DNA sequence: GTGGTCTAGACCACC
DNA sequence: GTGGTCTAGACCACA
């Protein structure tokens, strides 16, 4: 898998995982793949995957059963949504509005762009 | 001045400068403050400011007269706008749409938030 | 059964067993439950229980009659006490004193806490 | 420096740092040594020290100024005390009491031991 | 100079 | 089999 350069790989992997949870590909209390499996699959170092797992564990999205593996927490879906929404409303959105103001872009422009985006 | 942690300081300063230009506080062919003044004012290492100036110079938004100082280029306003719009439409906006899809946020929610944002 | 995360599960089980012996629930030369029974009851992998049994066997607290099961040794009570006291006076207590010194906790605080603890 | 084997090295280093703060060797808002310096001094890998710093940063005991170094937070002393006290009262102390009950050790025994301990 | 990320690989404890 | 810790060393971005 290819990663872009603007964000650490381990966070890009975290984003992948969040998508999996939000799309219900990974269900709550379900086991997720082992660190090694993910490392092989994404062609990264196991340590990098471990960092992703630690990050998500710190956010109560996954947890560890010793010697067995990692599992999505009972309210993993909600926690994921909260994490992402927080990021979105507190960081992305304010920057977003500031930018469109500064550039004098109208909401209509955005809408048109969105329509095109959805068609793809 | 306080900076956030999600972006390099020198780019946050660049954003400040872009705003000044877009809001016509800094006019084309006008002299802008010296590196040292900015460094003192923003409580930042002069090296960091230098980086900002180099970055903007690379984008033809400012230029240097040796021994005299830095100036906004003749088409600085346009260049700034182009730079920002490029960033916005090619990076921010696609990510933005992807996120609202993933989080199932409706355009209406965004609109409400925008109204609130404008009132502040 | 729930286990905490600061100690291996097999040692936490060993602690349980020690309590049983010290409280005379398990008497010397008496048979103790099979690995399988314990594993089912505590919802733990049988290998983990085996480790507990091996650990206690190494400390001469229990022994095995092949094909029959595990038994508390003749001086199991004493051995258990010795094991625990060693741990306590050589490891726990010194750390304990160091910590209360560092945190400037008085012996009185401890005493109060102990009184509360006993009431529960 | 020598480390024992019962706890990860990076946590043992964290304990060292906590002591420094509690003993006011490191004062609030003061700069602490760089990762590399500590690594050389303690003869461990810089990555290990980084882990310690991350751990303490997560606990709001230290913070990072980019490109400059790590500093004790404004309320670093209090945060450290809280962290340690939490550990002590919620983990160590209950185990402690449980053990002395199980072993039928009297408070007087503890006291005698403590007197000896202080004389050293 | 500072810290942050990543790789490669070893070793260990635990289940 | 699982994850956790640690080392060694490279490379990069930032101040």
Q: Is residue B96 part of a domain?
A: no
Nearest to D32 by CA among D21, D46, D23: D21
Q: Is residue B95 part of a domain?
A: no
Provide residues of A within 8 Å CB-CB of chain C: 66-67
What's the pLDDT at B3?
80
The CA R_g of chain A, rounded to the nearest whole Å, is 17
Check the CA dihedral A32-A37-A42-A47 and report its sign.
positive
Residue D31 DSSP class: B
Number of domains in chain A: 1
Q: What is the pTM (predicted TM-score) of this model?
A: 0.84
pLDDT tens-place values along chain B, 120 residues long: 778 777 888 988 998 899 889 888 898 998 999 898 889 888 888 888 999 999 999 889 999 888 888 999 999 999 998 888 888 887 778 888 888 888 888 878 888 877 877 776
Q: Is residue C1 part of a domain?
A: no
Residue A20's domain spans which residues?
Answer: 9-77
For testing the chain B interface, which of A102, A105, A106 should be mutated: the one with the most B CBs within 10 Å? Answer: A102
Q: Is residue D69 part of a domain?
A: yes
CATH number for the domain harbouring residue C32 = 1.10.10.10
What's the pLDDT at C110?
83
Q: Is residue A86 part of a domain?
A: no
D45 nearest nucleotide via C1' and CA: F7
Quick one: tokens of B105?
Answer: 């946020």
What's the pLDDT at D100?
84
Secondary structure (H, E, C), C7-24: CCHHHHHHHHHHHHHHCC
Gap from D35 CA to E2 C1', Å: 9
Q: Which residues touch strand F (CB under 7 A)?
A: A 34-37, 47, 50, 53-54, 64, 67-70; B 3, 8-11, 44-45, 47-48, 51; D 3, 8-10, 44-48, 51, 66-68
Cα separations in angstroms, B67 against B40, B70, C9 = 20, 9, 71
Is strand E in 7 Å reach of the CB of A116?
Answer: no
Gap from D50 CA to E4 C1', Å: 9
Residues from chain C contacting residue A66 (CB–CB below 8 Å): 5, 9
H helix intervals, C25-106? 35-42, 46-58, 76-87, 93-102
What are the tens digits of pLDDT across the range D77-104? Answer: 999 999 998 888 887 888 888 888 888 8
Q: Is residue C60 part of a domain?
A: yes
Q: Is residue A100 part of a domain?
A: no
Gap from A105 CA to E8 C1', Å: 49
Gap from C51 CA to E13 C1', Å: 12
The subunits that touch chain A, with at least 3 C-beta pairs less than 8 Å apart, are B, C
Name residue B72's beta-bridge partners: B62
Q: Is residue B99 part of a domain?
A: no
User: What confidence tier does A25 reach under pLDDT thresholds 50, 70, 90?
Assistant: very high
Residues from chain D contacting residue B9 (CB–CB below 8 Å): 66
Residues of chain D with pLDDT under 50: none
What are the tens digits of pLDDT across the range A27-86? Answer: 999 999 999 999 999 999 999 999 999 999 999 999 998 889 999 999 999 999 999 988
Q: How many CA atoms lie within 13 A of D64 on its CB side?
A: 15
What are the tens digits of pLDDT across the range A75-103? Answer: 999 999 999 988 888 878 888 888 888 88
Residue nearest to nucleotide F14 (CA to C1'): D67
Mean pLDDT (chain D) is: 88
């Amino acid at each position: 898998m290819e990663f872009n350069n603007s964000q650490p790989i381990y966070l890009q992997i975290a984003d992948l995982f969040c998508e999996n949870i939000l799309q219900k590909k990974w269900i709550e209390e379900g086991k997720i793949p082992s660190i090694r499996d993910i490392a092989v699959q994404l062609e990264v170092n196991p340590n990098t995957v471990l960092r992703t797992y630690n990050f998500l564990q710190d956010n109560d999205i996954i947890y560890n059963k010793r010697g067995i593996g990692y599992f999505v927490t009972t309210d993993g879906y909600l926690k994921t949504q909260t994490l992402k929404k927080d990021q979105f409303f507190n960081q992305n959105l304010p920057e977003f509005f500031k930018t469109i103001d500064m550039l004098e872009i109208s909401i209509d422009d955005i809408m048109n762009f969105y329509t095109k985006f959805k068609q793809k």
